[in-house]
Amino acid sequence: MLLAGAAGLGAVLASGSASWAQDITLRLHQFLPPQANVPQFVIDPWIKKVEEAAGGKLKIEHFPAMQLGGKPPELIDQVIDGAVDIAWTVNGFTPGRFPRPEVFELPFMMTNAEATSRAYWELFDKEMKDTDYENLHVLGAWVHGPGVLHSNRPIETMDDMANVKFRTPSRMIGFLLEELNAAPIGMPITAIPEALSKGVIDGAVVPWEVTTALKIPELVKNHTEFAEGNAFYTVTFTLAMNKAKYESLPDDVKKAIDDNSGMEFSAMAGRIQASYDAPAREKAIEMGNNIITISPEETQKWREAAQPVYDRWAADMEAKGIDGQALIDEAEALIAKYTEEQKAQSNDAADEQEGAEAAPTEESGMSETPSDGEATEAAQ
């Protein structure tokens, strides 16, 4: 009886231990509402994949729209201090806090979101992990699609920028707007609609992705883009975890997180975010708005006008003991590398598609698996 009792007690303890092992809960905090693109199509799917990979041992609770309190600029300290376990944030919320990632926010640095996100992750792994992010365990680092000029007057040349009041998304673009004789005004992205309607600003610099939700095409009718492969700007994002919390996790739970984080996740996040640019642009066209595309020749003039911003940033980095020019050179080389790889993959995919269309097929049993981008569009 004693042995039976001991066995029963052991079973209870073992059961309790197993239950405890499955009771790991992490809290993820971020600034956008749950229906926004990134929470809905990047963060929530990531949570699901990690939880599934952890085999039921992990629960990640998602708190959108600053539900746990504080303001967006406080997110990074919340995760460093352990007030939350994971945070998704914009590096620009805390200007100067993360100097090295700013290299990807320099004007006309990025080509497209996926290639630039890959470059960002590689340079993070090489130059930033043990410097800017030494107090964090970074899960993803990516950028959004090309930034566009949206204004109440047509912007066709640099001269048209004079005295135009633009909401600026980052200090890098603030520098450029100053160089172009425009008037940069900083404000949260959510303040743009009211600022436009009241004439506080004449325009905003944001990617197409967010324009529909912000009603920008209803408030201004002119949208200026640049020649393909030339982005006026982008913004860097970070999904990061409290370092001590990550290190305290069991190895198998760490693996579940690691296997779903890193470069491929970052590239996917950038690609998904940019996939919402085209539908938003199409809505502006349907409303009869004026889409201006700067020619390659004119775009080159804008790029040349941006050079003082590069010089200013490199000098700022030098004052911090950072080789800014080396970061610029590395970022440009990595973006070029991943852009070429992406083009090659697209060409290969096109060739395969042509071959598949030319080859005879049987109707039965044939199926087509959509790419991540197509799946995202279907999810809309």
For 304, the enclosing helix (H) or strand (E) is helix 296-305
| DSSP symbol at 160 | G
Contact 55, 250 (CB under 8 A): no
Q: Can you list the residues of the chain whose pLDDT is less than 50?
A: 1-21, 361-380
Per-residue pLDDT, 146: 97
pLDDT number for residue 188: 84
Which CA distances in Å does 295 have to 33, 148, 207, 221?
Answer: 37, 15, 19, 20
Cα(299)–Cα(151) distance, integer angstroms: 18
Question: What domains, with CATH codes, occur in the chain?
Answer: 24-143+234-274 (3.40.190.170), 147-233+277-343 (3.40.190.170)
User: What global pTM score does this model have?
Assistant: 0.86
pLDDT of residue 97: 95
From the centroid of its chain, how far is CA 13?
45
CB 139 within 8 A of CB 261: yes
The DSSP bridge pattern shows strands 136-143 and 236-242 to be: antiparallel
- pLDDT the model gives residue 355: 64
